[in-house]
A and B are shown apart, each in its own frame.
Chain A
Amino acid sequence: DAKTTQPPSMDCAEGRAANLPCNHSTISGNEYVYWYRQIHSQGPQYIIHGLKNNETNEMASLIITEDRKSSTLILPHATLRDTAVYYCIVSRETGANNLFFGTGTRLTVIP
């Protein structure tokens, strides 16, 4: 599975959009991009995933570049409860039961 690169930390003002980047330059054609987050030491929480097209759900939007080498998770109106570690993961469908969680990006939402 392709590895990902994320900034170790980011800050975002409450109410503003949080844009979390992820680089996955070695991604292959059958690999999906997943985003999870972990609040404090709770179990990771699934946010969104995509293959080629941009995706949106009630939590976030996922923008994948045309060459699929990078993506951005967007939290449209960040709240204090969005403070967490965000993980960008790339995995094949058949390997998606074993997701490699790296060290992620620690997002701090500031009042």
Chain B
Amino acid sequence: EAQVTQNPRYLITVTGKKLTVTCSQNMNHEYMSWYRQDPGLGLRQIYYSMNVEVTDKGDVPEGYKVSRKEKRNFPLILESPSPNQTSLYFCASSLRSRGLAYEQYFGPGTRLTVT
């Protein structure tokens, strides 16, 4: 089954304790992204990757790192989490379709709480 998986789905941690949220897709997509969703703010892109070893900042990259060493994986790293990073996080991968427009496939989400 074609899918985007994220782990963990729920995480409660403390300020300053490094964490990694994993993302994996089995659709051989080149493009992958991370978003965060906060009440009243919609989804905002954190980082994206056009291909292996190619990453770039999205709209809200501060406090986050990413890496793309393999096509299928795109982990999100919080080196020193803070309470303002408490949010619902989504990973997405993109399919190039007709007309060169992209359809994004989203993972189930990771709910992160930083105390």
Residues of A contacting B: mostly: loop
- B 17-38 binary contact with A (CB < 8 Å = 1; else 0): 0000000000000010101010
Q: Report chain A residues within 8 Å CB of B70.
A: none
**Does B7 belong to the interface (CB within 8 Å)?**
no
- On whether A43 and B48 interact (CB within 8 A), knowing A93-B100, A96-B102, the answer reads no
- On whether A49 and B101 interact (CB within 8 A), knowing A41-B88, A43-B108, A97-B31, the answer reads yes
- On whether A96 and B94 interact (CB within 8 A), knowing A101-B42, A101-B43, A103-B40, the answer reads yes
Residues of B contacting A: mostly: strand
Closest to A102 in B: B42
- On whether A43 and B109 interact (CB within 8 A), knowing A93-B102, A97-B102, A102-B42, the answer reads yes
B32-66 interface with A by 8 A CB criterion? 33, 35, 37, 40, 42-45, 48, 50, 58-59
Q: Report chain A residues within 8 Å CB of B105.
A: 46
Q: Report chain B residues within 8 Å CB of A99.
A: 43, 45, 104
26 pairs, A vs B, C-beta closer than 8 Å: A34-B101, A41-B88, A41-B109, A43-B90, A43-B107, A43-B108, A44-B90, A44-B92, A44-B104, A46-B104, A49-B103, A51-B99, A93-B100, A93-B101, A96-B101, A96-B102, A97-B50, A97-B102, A98-B48, A98-B59, A99-B43, A99-B45, A100-B42, A101-B42, A101-B43, A103-B42
What would 20 more interface pairs be, CB under 8 Å, given A43-B90, A43-B106, A103-B42? A32-B101, A41-B88, A41-B109, A43-B4, A46-B104, A87-B42, A93-B101, A96-B101, A97-B31, A97-B33, A97-B48, A97-B94, A97-B102, A98-B59, A99-B45, A101-B35, A101-B44, A102-B42, A103-B40, A104-B42
